[in-house]
């Protein structure tokens, strides 16, 4: 990756590398873990730049997980992600994407390390409590998918 990536100003580039996007998924809300998970996120040094309690429409969930549309679990994933409210948030911290993926742990809670959010709160590989962007590019796309410019601080 080049420092001065096309279409990004230097300021935007710096911002992008320090931000990630998360969702507390329907199982986390349903199981009463919202407050504890937000507490873990803040305790790990992430600053909340945008946050909303909302519910994904079927169209939104399909679009958000479009990259998985050919996978056998896509239908189940869309159904689950629209089954109840979520919390969407943009988080800021140095090295945000990688540090947040470390905080949430492996996709399957059976493989997630001790001390991670998924180890503590995920039910299964599908119902795994929390989403975390996998790259700076996706963090920006996913953040913009959920928030208007005037909702981001």
What is the distance between the alpha carbons of residues 13 and 5, in angstroms, rounded to a whole number? 8
Residues 80, 81, 87, 89: is their CA dihedral positive or negative?
positive
Contact status: 18 vs ligand IDP (CB under 6 A): no
Residues 89-128 that bind ligand IDP (CB under 6 A): 107, 125-126, 128
Q: Are 30 and 123 in contact (CB under 8 A)?
A: no
146 in active site: no
| Candidates 22-30, 45-53, 97-105, 129-137; binding stretch for Mg ion (CB under 5 A) | 129-137
What is the distance between the alpha carbons of residues 91 and 139, in angstroms, rounded to a whole number? 10
Binder to ligand IDP among 10, 53, 73, 145 (CB under 6 A)?
Answer: 73
Query: Which spans of this chain sit near Mg ion (rule: CB under 5 A)?
Result: 134
> Which residues does the annotation mark as catalytic?
131
């Amino acid at each position: 990756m080049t420092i001065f990536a096309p279409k990004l100003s230097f300021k935007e580039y710096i911002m992008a590398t320090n931000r990630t996007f998360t969702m507390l998924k329907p199982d986390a809300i349903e199981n009463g873990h919202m407050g504890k998970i937000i507490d873990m996120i803040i305790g790990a040094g992430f600053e909340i730049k945008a946050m909303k309690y909302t519910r994904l429409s079927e169209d939104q969930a399909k679009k958000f997980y479009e990259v998985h549309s050919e996978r056998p679990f896509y239908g189940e994933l869309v159904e689950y992600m629209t089954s109840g409210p979520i919390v969407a948030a943009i988080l800021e911290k140095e090295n945000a994407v990688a540090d947040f993926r470390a905080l949430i742990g492996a996709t399957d809670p059976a493989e997630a390390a001790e001390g991670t959010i998924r180890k503590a709160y995920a039910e299964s590989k599908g119902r795994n409590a929390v989403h975390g962007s996998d790259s700076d590019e996706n963090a920006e796309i996913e953040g913009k998918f959920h928030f208007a410019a005037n909702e981001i601080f």
